[in-house]
Structure formats: C-alpha cells, structure tokens
Amino acid sequence: MERNLPKGCRLLALQVKGDQRGSLIPLERATGVPFDIARVYFIYGTQPGVSRGFHAHYRLRQVAVCVAGSCTMILDNGRDRTELHLDQPDHGIEIGPMIWHEMHDFSADCVVVVLADGPYDEGDYIRDRAEFVELAGIG
C-alpha cells in the first residue's frame, strides 16, 4: 500500500491483537505511533460529496486511521503529491508537519480516528494553498 508517499508521510502497519472474540488495535507509542499522543479526534458523518481538510500544519504531527468505511486522502509536501485510499483499520498514515492534506470520497459509514502530538492550536494551521506553496519553497 505504501507507494511514493511525500517526504514527511509514512504508512504505519498497526499491531493487531485478537482471538476468537475479535480484534483489538492498541494505538500508543509502544505499538508504533511515532509520538506521544496529546489529542484524539474522530471524523464521521461526512455527507456525500463533501471534502475535508484543505490545510497543513507548521508543527503538528498526526496519524490518521480509517477504522470503518473508506475515504481518499491526498497528501502533498509541495513537491510530491499522492492519493491514498484508506479502508483498513490496521493501517495508519503518518502526516508530518508541512504536509497539505485533503480528504475526499467518504463512504457513508466512514469513521477516521486522528491522533495528534499536540493540542488544537489555530495558529498552527496553514489554510491557504498559495501560502503553503510559498512556505514549502516551490512558489
């Protein structure tokens, strides 16, 4: 599934534990999350045809996991742009700082869990694509 991801992104194979009762995927530094988790949020109930994201962060690191359904994530570091279909709860995508990301094509049952290494900080967002391109040094 990992294919030409932009520098600053990495596909993470998450550790699945389970038996005849079902499966469990622990999300913590000890099991592959590459940072201490300071915030967790869920994206769900996205209406058909709606897209989300359209921003980058100066400093924040995140891991996104599609725990139900599916969506398409576009990841762009200003030089390399990749489209990735997320549909497996045992895979996460690490999104580093200065990665423009967009989410499209949400299935009706899509639930994305996002782990972040810091609390919400509006000042850390880059919401203007032209500003991002300039900051990334490609404008």
The set of catalytic residues is: 55
Residue at token pair 């999350």: 33
Position of tokens 């099991």?
A: 31
Q: Which residues in the chain belong to E strands, given as ranges?
A: 9-13, 17-19, 22-24, 39-44, 52-57, 62-68, 71-76, 81-86, 91-95, 100-104, 111-116, 125-126
Per DSSP bridges, beta strands 100-104 and 71-76 are antiparallel
Question: The dihedral of CA 137, 115, 104, 93: what is its sign?
Answer: positive
Task: Retrieve residue 47's tokens.
Answer: 């209406």
